[in-house]
Structure 1
Amino acid sequence: MEEFDVIVVGAGIMGSSTAYNCIKKGCKTLLLEQFPLPHARGSSTGHSRITRKAYSKELYANMMPEAYKLWSELETETNTQIYKKTGGIIIGKANVRYSEYEKVLKELKTEVLSLTENEIVEMLPNTNYYGFQGICDPEAGVLFADKAVKSFQSAFLRRGGSLKENEKLVNISTGSIVKITTTKGIYNGKSLIVCAGSWTNKILSELDLKLPLNPRYVKVCYWKVKDGLKKSNLPVLIDVNGVNYHGVREGVYGTPPEEYPDFYKVCMHGGKDLSDPDFRDGSDDGEEVKIISNYVSKYMPFLDSRPAIVETCIYTMTPDEDYIIDRHPNCNNIFFGAGFSGHGFKLAPVVGKLLSEMVLKQPTTFNTAPFSLHRFRNSTSKL
């Protein structure tokens, strides 16, 4: 029976980053994944994610410079381009949500360029964002998601890590040594870290713990840029006003052609609730695609009116859309990172670093109190 200092469950972007950071600190580390790699079942699938320094919450804006630094270090270690600088615009009509981005950036003395409606349309030609205001985040861009996950895993393996794929967790026995039983083997670990996305509660339920997590089934849509129109050097876009989805304003975001040549990705932050991530491919009435199509027709006429490609992704939401990074209240050698609420990928290097520091009882690079599970102690979670 193999024994490890740390066992990490879940080889998406968070688990891969965490395993890499643990072995980088000298821990003998095992990374377990229930599916064959790579796979498209969770939240780390696909080619691109937005990264940006602009955040409406100071908590995350403070962490972004460190994230940029750590992505750059991973690029150097693996000789792989992960980040592409495109610039980005965050727009909205005059409201609190839009103003918060500008306020936080100015407080942190981060470069902020205010944009008029004409400047917005100049940066994103052939759009109808008249009546909007915005800010430009010069450092915003695209992270190549599939390369990022693979880079963490390859760097982890080169440093001597063990990666077991297509092994579903069957049982956890707690104690000073955590015993993990999978469909293929048994492993002992001094510490366990669960980074299993929307499967987190399925795993933690074995330990009498339920986190306040709500998985969402999100549509990822790609729209063909019309012939003769500009297709290169387009910025990433975040519209904080977005669309009305079941009485809630959900933001809309866009990324320039990366996955598919000549196709611009436009999606909304919202999606249908998903009761069980193992049964995510159920019936679909096309509601989300219709809502985004109406948005594209109204504001982005440089794109075809219907998406040419529709894919899916899972967000795992918390009630306040802030992360949960903590330890089990009754097992001091079991930790978890979950509920990244559709905005975690860009900060994965920081999350992995924080979890590795917590496992080793080191001072954490950032205060983890805002990510504590105990902020939900009045909820229905079993604490």
Structure 2
Amino acid sequence: MTSPSYIIVGSGVFGASTSLSLIRKYPSASIILIDRDAFYAPFRVAASWDWNKAVRADYRDILYTKLGLEAQLLWRTDPVWQPFYHQSGVMWISSTAFTEQVLKNFAELGVEVDIRAYSVEEARALYGGLFEDADYTGVKQVLVNRTSGWAEAKEALQNTIKTAVGLGVKYVTAEVTALEFEDSPGRKRCHGVKTAIGESIGADRVILCTGAFTPKLLVDSAPEWTDLHVGDRIIAAAVTEAIAPLTAEQYHILDTMPVAINDNPTEYGENLGCLPLPKINALKYWGQIIFRNTLEHHITRKPLSMPPLKSDYAQWDVPLALKDDVRRGPESMFGRKKVNQELEKFRICWEALTPSQDFIVSPHSACDGLYVATCGSFHGFKFLPVLGKYVVEMLCGELEPKLRERWAWDRELPPTKVNSKWPKRDLIALSE
């Protein structure tokens, strides 16, 4: 029996991982991976294209702790990803009960990791006093996990796709503008995609790994078919990041520096973060403000959050308010005296976010032949080595019930007010 043919739309973290897992399971299958950008392009719109990303298993939610540990093992050992992983450790400064819950999860799982809680005074002395002047407002304990770290993001993503292509996946550089459907008994079936140049590409199964583009793509594909649309399941949201070159006198910081995450100051939104970039003697920072971009859809005339309509998502057009948001990072992490840095190369990173911050890995309930595997919710990259495994299990009907329920297209959605990542501001307001 021949395996079905597949189109995977989007070659970010979900699409890349899925393509590799699929071709490993079905070596003779027709698998097409489509993206608007070449996978070796110097700049891409995918959220997973980045200078670097944190790789950790430190979660309040034990389900993602388990997945993080599984992914970390492959980051350390699998030749596809091992060259790009750096076990620097992660230091997390939080005034919440985050530290206690993380330690409880590891204890419950019975795994041995080099993790512990430090008092603020102890934390000030760590890493040669690098974080002595950080913002510890309201903090009782600081979490340090020395078995976590970071990955070279775009390089790991490229190598995943390169490996999949080497095994037989066909990579197509094209902009998908719509899905294509046919009537089948009782309901519609997705049988392919249409590109910006009018080309139709068909397959038995279409898997959307389209991130922040997903809400717009589904509305564009069938404006009046509301059951196809994302509804309240997904919102396109974004955060800003930048890099900060170090002076020659500061290069030594990179020798031992961990990923640093700080919830302070708390009034602006999510946490701030900082990661080392030793190849270019710099640090990467991200900001706290998570925002949306609400536009009127050109056909339905209804509001919809989507990335800016430019081909590159206008990711380098960063308003001053968002630049200032990222500029809070150095003081939050190091204080004014320790690392006085000028930030550059500001970038807006667009992501698909769900109300629960869970992924969606599921058949689409309104359409046969259509599957959704996306919604990194600002924490998906670290699972690059294992996401495809679970997508393939979903396609085969073998996803374990707990994951099937958590990642379903149709599931009970929590109120967004309890989601600290849910965007409360619009890009246009931040641009004024």
Q: Which TM-score band (shorter chain)?
A: 0.7 to 0.9
Compute the displacement of 1:357 (Å): 1.6
Match of 1:256 in 2: 276
> Matched residues, percent identical?
19
Residue 249 of structure 2 is aligned to residue 216 of structure 1: no
TM normalised by structure 2 equals 0.77
Task: State the number of aligned residues.
Answer: 371
Task: Give, in angstroms, the shift of residue 358 of structure 1.
Answer: 1.5
Match of 2:306 among 276, 288, 310: 276
For 1:328, the equivalent position in structure 2 comes to 364
Match of 1:67 in 2: 71
Residue in structure 1 matched with residue 11 of structure 2 by the alignment = 11
Q: Deviations over 1:112-144 (max 9, x none)?
A: 311122332233433313564212212111111
Q: CA-to-partner distance for each residue in 1:154-208, whole Å, 9 max, x for gaps?
A: 1111111111013434441245671323236332211111001111122223253
CA displacement, residues 327-377 of structure 1 (integer Å, 9 cap, x when unaligned): 111224211122211100001232211111221233459722111222246
Q: Which residue in 1 is equivalent to 2:170? A: 162
Matched with 2:211 is 197
**Contact map agreement 1:7 1:192 (CA 8 A) in 2:** yes
Q: For residue 33 of structure 1, what is the aligned residue in structure 2?
A: 35
Instruction: Classify the secondary structure of the residue corresponding to 1:372.
Output: coil
Q: Tell me the SS of whatever aligns to 1:67.
A: helix
* CA RMSD between the two structures: 2.8
Cα distance in 1 between the residues matched to 2:347 and 2:81: 29
Instruction: Indicate if the aligned counterparts of 2:361 and 2:394 stay in contact, CA closer than 8 A.
Output: no
Paired residues of 1:220 and 1:311 also in contact (CA < 8 A) = yes
1:55 aligns with 2:75: no
What amino acid is the match of 1:218? V
1:240 aligns with 2:263: yes
Can you list the C-alpha shifts for 1:239-284, whole angstroms capped at 9, x where unaligned? 2345422xxx4111111124631x2222134332123322442864
Match of 2:144 in 1: 136
* Cα distance change, pair 239–108 in 1 and its aligned pair in 2 (3 A): farther
- Change over 3 Å in CA distance of 1:67–1:213 after alignment to 2: same
* Equivalent residue, structure 2, for 1:105: 106
Counterpart-to-counterpart distance in 2, 1:145 and 1:365: 31
* Contact 2:273 2:329 survives alignment (8 Å): no
Partners of 2:216 and 2:328 in 1: CA distance = 37
Letter in 1 for 2:34: L
Q: TM-score with structure 1 length normalisation?
A: 0.86
Q: Any conservation in 1 of the 2:318–2:348 contact (CA below 8 Å)?
A: no
Q: CA deviation at 1:63?
A: 0.8
Give the direction of change, closer, same or farther, for the CA distance of 1:146–1:64 in structure 2 (3 Å limit): same
- Is 1:179 equivalent to 2:187 in the alignment? no
Query: What is the CA-CA distance between 1:311 and the residue it aligns to?
Result: 2.3
| Residue in structure 2 matched with residue 44 of structure 1 by the alignment | 48
After the TM superposition, which residues 70-81 of structure 1 pair with which residues of structure 2 at under 5 Å, given as runs? 70-72=74-76, 75-76=78-79, 78=80, 81=83
Q: Determine the C-alpha separation between the residues in 1 that align with 2:332 and 2:366.
A: 52
Give 1:219 deviation, angstroms: 1.4
Q: Specify which of 295, 312, 316 is matched with residue 348 of structure 2.
A: 312
Secondary structure, in 3 states, of the residue corresponding to 1:62? helix
Decide which moves more: 225-234 or 328-337: 225-234
Over 3 Å counting, the alpha-carbon distance change for 1:172 and 1:70 in structure 2 is farther
1:337 aligns with 2:373: yes
Q: Residue 145 of structure 1: which of 153, 160, 175 is its match?
A: 153
Question: Would the aligned equivalents of 1:6 and 1:22 in 2 still touch at CA under 8 Å?
Answer: no
Contact 1:49 1:144 in 2 (8 A): yes
C-alpha contact 2:49 2:157 (8 A) present in aligned 1: no
Of 383, 387, 390 in structure 2, the residue corresponding to residue 354 of structure 1 is 390
Classify 1:258/1:335 alpha carbon distance in 2 versus 1 (closer, same or farther; 3 Å): farther
Aligned-pair CA distance for 1:226: 5.1
SS in 2 for 1:256: strand
Residues 106 and 242 from structure 1, CA distance in 2 versus in 1: closer, same or farther, beyond 3 angstroms?
Answer: farther
User: Offset of 1:292 from its aligned partner?
Assistant: 3.6
Distance 1:288 1:99, change over 3 A: farther
- Please list, as runs of the form range in 1=range in 2, the aligned pairs for 1:293-312 lying within 5 A after superposition: 293-297=327-331, 299-300=333-334, 301=336, 302-312=338-348
**Pair 364,158 (structure 1): closer, same or farther in 2 beyond 3 Å:** farther
- The alignment partner of 1:68 has SS state of helix
Distance 1:236 1:42 in 2: 22
